[in-house]
Amino acid sequence: MTRSTPAMHSSVRPTGLLPGSLARFIRRLLIPAALGVVAMGLTACGALGSAAALPATTTTTSAEAECASQSLSVSSEPLESAGPSFLVFTLKNTGIASCTMSGVPSLTITDAAGNVVSTPQQTPATSPHSGAPLSSSPVDLASGGAASYWVEFIPCEAPANDDSTAASLSASGVTSGAPLSVPFQATPGCQTLIVSPVVSGVVDPPGFTAGGPAPAPIPPGAESKVQAEKAANPSGANSASARSASARSCAARRGRPAAVGIRVRPRRMRCYAAAKSP
Amino acid sequence: MGLRSRQGKFNIPIALAFSSAGEGLEHEEGPVQMAVRLLKTLMVAGAVAFVAPAASALADSPAGFYYGADSFKPTATGSSVPYKEPTVGGTFGGYAAEVWTFADQAGCSTSRAVNTTDVGDANANTQQSGPTGTALFYFMGGPGSDPQYNASHPSASEAYNWGYNQAYYAYKYYVAHGPTAYQPIMFMDIENPGNGTFQGWDEETDKCGSRTGTTPIPSSIDRQTFNGFYNEIFANTPFYPGVYARQDYWNATFGTGSNGSLPSTKEWTSQSHNVIAIPGPSRWCTIGACAQWFGGAPSSNEIEWQWAIALSGDYDQIDSSNAF
């Protein structure tokens, strides 16, 4: 879903930010940058947070804009740990009344010049967490409610247009929208982005709000034992007959054309199994 | 044999001590009174003998075996390392915490069966050689709890993907919120909770576990969901995959053929079990219950046995030699 479709405008509530507020907000947050960023924009007016200043070290950030008579905050929580880099974006309605969003969120990959490289059409239907698909009908975000989304970088499999690819994640049609932008450090170069809505709607998702206690590392001794056992037992799927079905599924999927630079979580999963040796 | 040996060693002196202290001969008594007193003494002694393991610091046996717990309770005792197993005594050798559930993931609930004291105490006890620390389990949804599940034409890849994603989110939740696990095993909790909710291994449910259909699910489809979870944990996390189940439930759900085969999964069984914790087991048996493994698991994967599901909590036994 792109940010300027008529459908999005039609879903927007009539009240919203003043143009002056919008301009101030844009000036404050949207600073062109060379590195890739993800920006979450409330884009009913067609504004897109395409690039923003990158902090040297990303920390949880938040910004607020009006959503009718309420406030809507957006925050991100970078989770630096082993494995893929990913972020959790949370849209939270801090006001006293509900706020209607549609097309939550839409994800757009742009190149350094702001040209759209790729846009997913819908969120994975198989996700159990997709309260609303990427291009969805309006979602009411109740007062105090929140919607969270994963954004994940994994090693690039299909190089994007250039090394300075930027990504813009936009929640469309929240109101007559001020763009909210939460920049974070993205590894320069080719990226594959995954976005997965966790919960859309009226409650805080239980697991993906910021501030949870991170676990201490697994003791090296125990972890090395696990690695040794995995190395001694590379069979992975634990059952030859079951592996073959997954492999067939993945092989079939490989024949499909893939969106440039974008993969959506559940579809990615199937190919992991086939990639492992039995 | 080991259990009876422990009782004989510790309980008789306790019973005699109680008898002499509480039943002093301060006045003369006739034969009837003496008989009554002796009978009372014997009854008290018997009762003390029955509960004596709770008061004594008995260790599990043989070497490498430890008592432990899971979920909300019981809570380990003591104020410093080594923390102790409640009720039956001995070193608190390990604990399993619920990292999350498929219903939590779907936004249906937010509770996790975690005892933070046990988490800390189990991890702290790994300062000593032997105890395994805290492991994790994920209350898993079978393919029938996948909103995209088609009972008329179940898809193997969909079922696989469903399991894979659960593992993905289980680990991500762990990364974000813990609890700290010094024992890097992620158990799939596969069961029928029996409380009116279902997990979708043998039936269709909504995303929160309420049953919506009773069409049988092929064991091959169940296996795909299992494998999806297994593969994600195995390949993309520092954890090793495990499974918690009862033998009879496992056999009924996955069968005893290739779909139920578990050659390389760490195993935690809850069959059979008692409803009281005492007496604690030795090796994989106690009075009235022995561990029953499933899936043809090799003995090296026999990690944990939930020997008692009691009002005071879940009591587990762990073979540390098979753990990490």
A134 lies in the same domain as A97: yes
SS (H, E, C) chain B: CHHHHHHHHHHHHHHHHHHHHHCCCCCCCCHHHHHHHHHHHHHHHHHHHHHHHHHCCCCCCCCCEEEEEECCCCCCECCCCCCECCCCCCEEEEEEEEEEEHHHHCCCCCCCCCCHHHHHHHHHHHHCCCCCEEEEEEECCCHHHCCCCCCCCCCHHHHHHHHHHHHHHHHHHHHHHCCCCCCCEEEEECCCCCCCCCCCCCCEECCCCCEEECCCCCHHHHHHHHHHHHHHHHHHCCCEEEEEECHHHHHHHHCCCHHHCCCCCEEEECCCCECCCCCCCECCEECCEECCCCCCCCHHHEEEEEEEEECCEEEEEEEHHHCC
A57 lies in the same domain as A193: yes
From B183, which residue of chain A is nearest by alpha-carbon distance?
Answer: A222
Q: Which residues of A71-107 are buried (b: 16+ CB within 10 A; e: fewer)?
A: ebbbbbbbbebeeebbbbbbbbbbbeebbbbbbbbbb
A259 lies in the same domain as A168: no
> Is the CB of A225 less than 8 angstroms away from the CB of B173?
no
A244 lies in the same domain as A167: no
Q: Which residues of A116-143 are buried (b: 16+ CB within 10 A; e: fewer)?
A: ebbbbeebbebbbbbbbbbbbebbebee
A87 lies in the same domain as A11: yes
Rounded Cα–Cα distance for residues B273 and B278 (Å): 11
> Is the CB of B175 less than 8 angstroms away from the CB of A215?
yes
Rounded Cα–Cα distance for residues A178 and A175 (Å): 8
Residue A137 forms contact with B (CB below 8 Å): no
Q: Of the candidates B133, B223, B236, which has its C-beta nearest A242's C-beta?
A: B223
Rounded Cα–Cα distance for residues A29 and A169 (Å): 15
Going by their DSSP bridges, the two strands B266-269 and B302-310 should be labelled as: parallel
CB B181 within 8 A of CB B173: no
**Other Cβ atoms closer than 10 A to B24:** 8
From A213, which residue of chain B is nearest by alpha-carbon distance?
Answer: B177
B44 lies in the same domain as B89: no
Residue A231 forms contact with B (CB below 8 Å): no
B168 lies in the same domain as B238: yes
Per-residue pLDDT of chain B (324 residues; tens, 9 = 90+): 322 222 222 222 222 222 222 222 233 344 455 444 434 433 433 443 333 333 334 678 899 999 999 999 999 999 999 999 999 999 999 999 999 999 888 878 777 889 999 999 999 999 999 999 999 999 999 999 999 899 999 988 888 888 988 998 899 889 888 899 999 999 999 998 767 778 999 999 998 888 999 999 999 999 999 998 998 899 889 999 999 999 999 999 999 999 999 999 999 999 999 988 999 999 999 998 999 999 999 999 999 999 998 888 899 999 999 999
Q: Of the candidates A150, A206, A219, which has its C-beta nearest B110's C-beta?
A: A206
A109 lies in the same domain as A166: yes
B181 lies in the same domain as B298: yes
B289 lies in the same domain as B140: yes
Residue A125 forms contact with B (CB below 8 Å): yes
Query: Is B61 among the domain residues?
Result: no
> Is the CB of A207 less than 8 angstroms away from the CB of B104?
yes
Chain A residues in contact with B324 (beta carbon < 8 A): 222-223, 225-226, 229
Q: Which of B134, B146, B231, B258 to mutate to test the interface with A (most CBs of A within 10 A)?
A: B231
Question: What Å distances lie between residue B126 and A219, B105, B324, CA to CA?
Answer: 10, 31, 11
B21 lies in the same domain as B137: no
Give the distance from residue B262's alpha carbon to the nearest chain A alpha carbon, in angstroms: 7
Rounded Cα–Cα distance for residues A231 and A258 (Å): 32
A56 lies in the same domain as A165: yes
B216 lies in the same domain as B302: yes
The Cβ-side half-sphere exposure at A159, using a 13 Å CA radius, reads 6
The Cβ-side half-sphere exposure at A113, using a 13 Å CA radius, reads 4
A29 lies in the same domain as A166: yes
B182 lies in the same domain as B95: yes
Q: Which two tokens stand for residue B300?
A: 């090296």
Question: What Å distances lie between residue A62 and A122, A144, A233, CA to CA?
Answer: 26, 15, 45
Chain B residues in contact with A216 (beta carbon < 8 A): 123, 180
> Is the CB of B258 less than 8 angstroms away from the CB of A272?
no
Q: Which two tokens stand for residue A62?
A: 């938040």
Q: Which residues contact A41 (CB under 8 A, 6 or more apart)?
A: A3, A47, A48, A49, A168, A169, A170, A171, A177, A179, A180, A181
User: Which residue segment(s) compose the domain that A187 sits in?
Assistant: 6-199
Query: Is A60 among the domain residues?
Result: yes
Give the distance from residue A21's alpha carbon to the nearest chain B alpha carbon, in angstroms: 35
Chain B residues in contact with A266 (beta carbon < 8 A): 161, 164-165
B45 lies in the same domain as B121: no
> Is the CB of A128 less than 8 angstroms away from the CB of B147?
yes
Rounded Cα–Cα distance for residues B59 and B97 (Å): 23
Q: Which of A246, A250, A263 to mutate to test the interface with B (most CBs of B within 10 A)?
A: A246
Count of A–B CB contacts within 8 Å? 178
Query: Is A204 among the domain residues?
Result: no
A198: helix, coil or strand? strand
Give the distance from residue A24's alpha carbon to the nearest chain B alpha carbon, in angstroms: 34
Query: Is A213 among the domain residues?
Result: no
Q: Which residues of A214-243 are buried (b: 16+ CB within 10 A; e: fewer)?
A: ebeebbeebbeebeebbeeeebbbbbeebb
> Is the CB of A212 less than 8 angstroms away from the CB of B162?
no
Per-residue pLDDT at B23 = 27
Per-residue pLDDT at A144 = 61
Per-residue pLDDT at B49 = 38
Rounded Cα–Cα distance for residues A19 and A27 (Å): 12
Q: Which of A154, A239, A241, A256 to mutate to test the interface with B (most CBs of B within 10 A)?
A: A239
> Is the CB of B173 less than 8 angstroms away from the CB of A207?
yes
Q: Which two tokens stand for residue A81?
A: 């740990």
Output DSSP code: residue A197: E
Q: Of the candidates A82, A150, A245, which has its C-beta nearest B224's C-beta?
A: A245
Per-residue pLDDT at B145 = 95
Give the distance from residue B146's alpha carbon to the nearest chain A alpha carbon, in angstroms: 7
From B173, which residue of chain A is nearest by alpha-carbon distance?
Answer: A207
Q: Of the candidates A81, A239, A272, which has its C-beta nearest B261's C-beta?
A: A239
Over its C-alpha atoms, chain A yields an Rg (Å, rounded) of 20
From B222, which residue of chain A is nearest by alpha-carbon distance?
Answer: A242
> Is the CB of A241 less than 8 angstroms away from the CB of B258?
yes
Per-residue pLDDT at A74 = 52
From B182, which residue of chain A is nearest by alpha-carbon distance?
Answer: A218
Question: What Å distances lie between residue B285 and B65, B274, B309, CA to CA?
Answer: 12, 11, 15
Residue A251 forms contact with B (CB below 8 Å): no
Residue A225 forms contact with B (CB below 8 Å): yes
Asked which of A168, A199, A230 is the last residue of a domain, the reply is: A199
Residue A245 forms contact with B (CB below 8 Å): yes
Output DSSP code: residue A16: B
Query: Is A182 among the domain residues?
Result: yes
User: Which residue segment(s) compose the domain that B48 sits in?
Assistant: 2-54
Per-residue pLDDT at B180 = 93
Query: Is B257 among the domain residues?
Result: yes
A57 lies in the same domain as A174: yes
Per-residue pLDDT at A96 = 62
B138 lies in the same domain as B279: yes
Query: Is B221 among the domain residues?
Result: yes
Chain A residues in contact with B226 (beta carbon < 8 A): 238, 242
From A273, which residue of chain B is nearest by alpha-carbon distance?
Answer: B231
Query: Is A51 among the domain residues?
Result: yes
A90 lies in the same domain as A173: yes
B83 lies in the same domain as B228: yes
Q: Of the candidates A215, A223, A237, which has its C-beta nearest B230's C-beta?
A: A237
- Structural domains of chain A, count: 2
Going by their DSSP bridges, the two strands B133-139 and B92-101 should be labelled as: parallel
> Phi-psi bin for B209: left (phi > 0), alpha (psi -120 to 50), beta?
left
Query: Is A149 among the domain residues?
Result: yes
Per-residue pLDDT at A95 = 61
Unique residue bearing structure tokens 């440039």: A260
Q: Of the candidates B109, B223, B239, which has its C-beta nearest A226's C-beta?
A: B239
A129 lies in the same domain as A250: no
Packing angle, helices B31-55 and B2-22, rounded to 10: 130
Query: Is A241 among the domain residues?
Result: yes
Going by their DSSP bridges, the two strands B92-101 and B65-70 should be labelled as: parallel
* Positions in chain A whose pLDDT score sits under 70: 1-213, 235-278
- Structural domains of chain B, count: 2
CB B76 within 8 A of CB B88: no
State the pTM of this model. Answer: 0.56
A140 lies in the same domain as A266: no
* Nearest alpha-carbon partner for A92 in A79, A101, A83: A101
Per-residue pLDDT at B157 = 81
Concatenated DSSP letters for A25-54?
Answer: HHHHH----SS--EEEEE-TTS------PP
Q: Of the candidates B105, B157, B230, which has its C-beta nearest A129's C-beta?
A: B105
Per-residue pLDDT at B120 = 95
Rounded Cα–Cα distance for residues B106 and A208 (Å): 12
